[in-house]
Amino acid sequence: MAYDLNIAWSPTTPQTEIEHTLRFAKNLGYDRVALNHIISGPIPTIPNPINNPVPQLTPPHPSFPGGANTNSKPSTTASSLPTVLRRATIIIDDPKTTNYRLADYTRAYDLVALRPRNEKAFSWSCLDTSEPPAIISLDLTSFLGYHIHHRTAMAAVHKGITFEICYSQVLGPGVDARSRSNFIGNILGLIRATKGRGVIISSEAKSALGLRGPADVVNLLAVWGFNPEKGTEAMGSAARAVVVNEGVRRRGFRGIVDIVQPAEGGEKTDKQEEGEEGAGKKQKQQKKGQQGQNQNQNQNQQKNQKRKNGDDGTGAGEAGGQEGMSKRQAKKMRKAGGQGS
């Protein structure tokens, strides 16, 4: 199962073009894709314009209740389209103007990514955000102006943040040699800092022409120094982990506990639970009553046995009688026997 968590979207994109891109992604083998809304400049007060990207064609996503139109019935062509998520990528120059709005974007979108443009914004995105983003997406075709330090990058990875490589940034006739050189150098720096961990691969394709098959992407990045095994993981299990973790973060209790599916026969009504509790109490009371009756019977038998032993004065009762009398009486009897002799 392959994931592409970055397909460019804008309010001016025609609906037919979005549908064509999604269908082509499905034919290439992508089962989960995310339409990416890039936000730059002042952050709008209404953060999510992607309400229903493909109405009545996108099947509802199981992890995100708001990821698709769950009220509408999917048409017969829904099987030819991948599952669509909604994503926002916020371009950051000054962290002070963004921090207080991240919680709103986390609630409105399925995935939230940050794209820092300077070293201060990069360090803040990795270490000091109030709501840790799912993805840090860098513009690898531009000159960053700073080095990606190992400690900063691994601190972000340990917090659950992933770094994104968008291969479509260097594909197409409009990309010059300088941009390709920056892209390769930045990929090498990112791999050196993260050691290939916490990295996902997306396309950031603006149309169907920018998409490539998963195997082609892995081979392309292997030429630029990315391990093929890591590349396959970056387009599969690593991207899936991002989707699942963000789903649990939004649905689960404090982002930790999530009820996936109750066991068969595990759900019980309140009346059934009350009936079981009452039956258990009755059984306990019956056991206590039986134990009390058995104890009373044993005590009565012991009393009767003692009375019988006390009534018998001869034969086998002599030894029992001597054992039953007190020491004082035995002493008197011994004195009386000595005087009589």
- The domain that holds 32 is classified in CATH as 3.20.20.140
Residue 35 within a domain = yes
Cα within 13 Å of Cα(47), Cβ side:
20
78-82, 84-88, 290-294, 312-316: segment of lowest average pLDDT: 312-316
pLDDT at 201: 92
Is residue 170 within 8 Å of 179, Cβ to Cβ? yes
Tokens of residue 201, six digits = 């691969």
Higher pLDDT pick, 328 / 284: 328
Quote the number of domains for the chain.
1
111 φ/ψ angles, rounded to the nearest 5 degrees = -135, 145
- pLDDT band for position 298 (50/70/90)? confident
Poorest-pLDDT segment among 152-161, 169-178, 216-225: 169-178
| Residue 121, domain member (yes or no) | yes
Alpha carbon distance 7, 166 (integer Å): 10
Cα Rg, the chain, nearest whole Å: 39
- More confident: 260 or 9: 9
Strands 199-202 and 162-166: parallel
In a domain, 73, yes or no: yes
Assess whether pLDDT exceeds 90 at residue 163.
Answer: yes
What's the domain range around 146?
A: 2-249
In the block, tokens 């009452």 appear at 278
In a domain, 153, yes or no: yes
276 in a structural domain: no
**Is residue 122 in a domain?**
yes
In a domain, 158, yes or no: yes
Domain assignment present for 315: no
> Would you say residue 62 has pLDDT above 50?
no
Which percentage of the chain shows pLDDT scores above 70?
A: 70
Distances (CA, A) of 329 to 101, 186, 309, 324, 332: 100, 110, 18, 10, 5
Contact by Cβ (8 Å): 49, 5: no
To the nearest whole number, what is the mean pLDDT of the chain?
A: 76
